[in-house]
Amino acid sequence: MVMSSISKWIVDPRKNWFARMHMKSLSNRLRKYGLRYDDLYDPMYDLDIKEALARLPREIVDARNQRLKRAMDLSMKHQYLPEDLQAMQTPFRSYLQEMLALVERERAEREALGALPLYQRSIP
C-alpha cells in the first residue's frame, strides 16, 4: 500500500517537480508536430490497440489519422507546426485510454475462463 502511494506520487505532475518537467517537455514536443499522446499508440505493435481503435467512432479515428498525416508531412519537410496552431494544441486530451483498458480487461477475463483468444499475433 505504501509502495502504491509512493508510485502514485512519483508520476503525479501536481506533486512531483520531475513529473511536471517531463509532462511539459512531452507537451512541447507533441505540440511542435500537432500530435496527441494517444496518437502514439501503434495498432501494429499490439492487437489490443487495433481492437480498441476498431471500437471507437469513425470521426475519432479519422481525426487521429489526419493528425498523424499532418505530423508526417511536417517531419518530412523538417518543419514544425505554426506558432498560433501550436498554442491551440491539446496533447493530453485522451480518447483511447479507457477503451484500451476495457479491451485488456475483457481479454484477461476470457483467458481466465479458459477460452481460446479471439485474436493472436502471428510472427510474420
Enumerate binding residues for other proteins (CB under 8 A).
Answer: 56-57, 59-60, 62-63, 84-85, 87-90, 93-95, 98-99, 102, 113-116, 118
- Among the residues of 1-124, which ranges form H helices? 2-11, 17-33, 47-55, 58-76, 83-87, 97-112
* Shortest distance (Å) from residue 9 CB to other proteins: 24
* Shortest distance (Å) from residue 22 CB to other proteins: 20
CA-CA distance, 10 to 14, in Å (whole number)? 10
DSSP state of 115: P
Of 114 and 124, the one with the shorter C-beta distance to other proteins is 114
Of 10 and 40, the one with the shorter C-beta distance to other proteins is 40
Kindly report the number of other CB atoms within 10 A of residue 107's CB atom.
16
* Shortest distance (Å) from residue 56 CB to other proteins: 7
Of 15 and 110, the one with the shorter C-beta distance to other proteins is 110
Residue type, 11: V
